[in-house]
Structure 1
Amino acid sequence: MKALRWHGTGDVSVDTVDDPQILEPTDCIIETTLTAICGSDLHLYDGYIPTMEDGDILGHEFMGRVVEVGSEVQNLKKGDRVVVPFPIACGHCHYCNTDQYSLCDNSNRNGEMQAEAYGYAAAGIFGYSHMLGGFDGGQAEYVRVPYADVGPMKVPDSLTDEQVLFLTDIYPTGYQAAVNCDIEEGDTVVVWGSGPVGLFAQISAKMLGANVIGIDREPERLRMAEQFAGSATINFEDEDVFEKLKGLNDGRGPDACIDAVGLEAHGLGLTGAAQKVEQTLKLQTDRGTALIEAIQSCGKGGTVSIPGVYGGVINHFNIGAAFGKGLTFKMGQTHVHKYIKDLLKHIEAGDLDPSYIITHKAPLAKAPELYETFRDKKDDCVKVVLDPSWNDDHEVEVRTQKVDAEA
Structure 2
Amino acid sequence: MLTGKASIDFDLCAQSDGTLATTQYSHLSRIHVSAQSIHLAETGENCKNIRYNTYDFTPKNLRPSIRKIAGNSVKTLVYMHDYFTMMSYPVMVRYPSGIQFRNGLPFVLSFAAASSDQDFQLDSSLVEQYTKQGAWNFFVPGLFTYRFPYEGVFAAEYGSPEAGTPGKPPALVDGKGQQAGFVAPHDLEDSGGLFYLIDDGRIRTIDAENNVKTLDLPSAGITNRVKALDADHGGRIHALTNRGFYSYTWHRLADGKKVDFGLVDYTFPVVPKTIETFTVVGDDIVLAMRDWMATESILYRVTSSGVVTRLTGTATAATPGDFLNEPSKYRLPTVQHLKYGVDGHLYIVLPQGVLIARDFK
More strand by share: 2
Larger gyration radius, structure 1 or structure 2:
1
More helix by share: 1
TM-score, normalising length from structure 2? 0.29
TM-score, normalising length from structure 1? 0.27
